[in-house]
Chain A
Amino acid sequence: MIIDRIVDVESGEYAVALVNVPNTLAVFDTHFPRFPVLPGVLLLDGMGAVARLVARQPLRRQQSIHGARFRHYVRPGDQIRITVHATEVAADAFACRAVAEVTGRKVATVRRLRFELEELR
């Protein structure tokens, strides 16, 4: 999932970004032909992309996702607002919590996304 607009970034603290969901996305051909809905896992990858804006160091591998909840469908024509807050900034890892909203309504939340940090040389 690709971020369309960065709304706000406070490095090491939080970031807010927008992702547009137009009807032209090819994923809707197959998910699903009779009821197009954005796959929930793409929201998780969108949250990961926003997490990379928050972290002060480059993030390497995503280590884990804990406590993901999908509350409402995201449909073609929706604009998703993703907010990520840092919860752990260590020498070797970065963790955050994340919320995805559409018109002020939470569509997905993740309690913890954790990443390994790129080794700085």
Chain B
Amino acid sequence: MRFHLIDRIEEWEPEKFIVAHKLTSRAEDYWPAEKPVMPPGLVLETVCQAATWLLMLGSDFRKRAALLSVDAAVYTADVVPGDVLDVEASITSITGEAAVIDGTVLVGGATVLTASGIMCALLDAGTLEDPEETRRMARELCGTEEG
């Protein structure tokens, strides 16, 4: 699978919060054959990726997050094909080297995941991906020319 689990960025405020969406589709290849429910780790990853977009947008694409630890992720409903995930992530603390994030995922207004204490290391984004490619994608996700 392409490991891009955010499809739109609606709103963000540097070092504060981000609101984003992920569309699920039957055409994606992560649904287990025996029961088409989105793997819980991937639901959590939508929060992590929303947070990494927030950190990239807020650092002019110099920083990117790498997952270090998760205190708690509590799932309250399954995600099934066709669901649209409303993803919110907020930074509860940040230094030059690490950030701590809380987040929620909702489907149709109902919470499916609440995550707290997601700690990420802040890495030099250029070591992972071409920053120009990341900028191009940010413009697409935000629906702006400025990104």
Interface residues of chain A, those whose CB is within 8 Å of chain B, are 1, 26-27, 29-35, 39-45, 48, 61-70
Contact = CB atoms under 8 A, between A and B. Distances in A.
Contacts of B78: 61
A35 B66 CA distance: 12
A68 B69 CA distance: 5
Interface string B63-90: 0000111111111001000000000000
A45 B75 CA distance: 14
B147 interface: no
Which 4 A-B residue pairs are closest in the complex by CB-CB distance? A41-B41, A32-B128, A45-B41, A44-B41
B48 A63 contact: no
Contacts of B68: 69-70
A35 B73 contact: no
B127 A34 contact: yes
Nearest to B69: A69
Contact of B72 (A35, A41, A62, A64): A64
B39 interface: yes
8 contacts: A29-B2, A30-B3, A31-B3, A35-B127, A48-B41, A63-B75, A64-B75, A66-B72
Contacts of A66: 71-73
Contacts of B69: 67-70
A33 B39 contact: no
A121 B12 CA distance: 48
Given A26-B1, A27-B3, A70 B41 contact: no
A41 B42 CA distance: 7
Given A41-B67, A65-B70, A27 B1 contact: yes
A65 B4 contact: no
Contacts of A44: 40-41, 44
Interface string B110-144: 00000000000000001111100100000000000
B2 A45 contact: no
Contact of B71 (A1, A40, A45, A67): A67
A16 B68 CA distance: 24
B45 interface: yes
A70 B128 contact: no
Interface string B17-49: 000000000000000000001011110110010
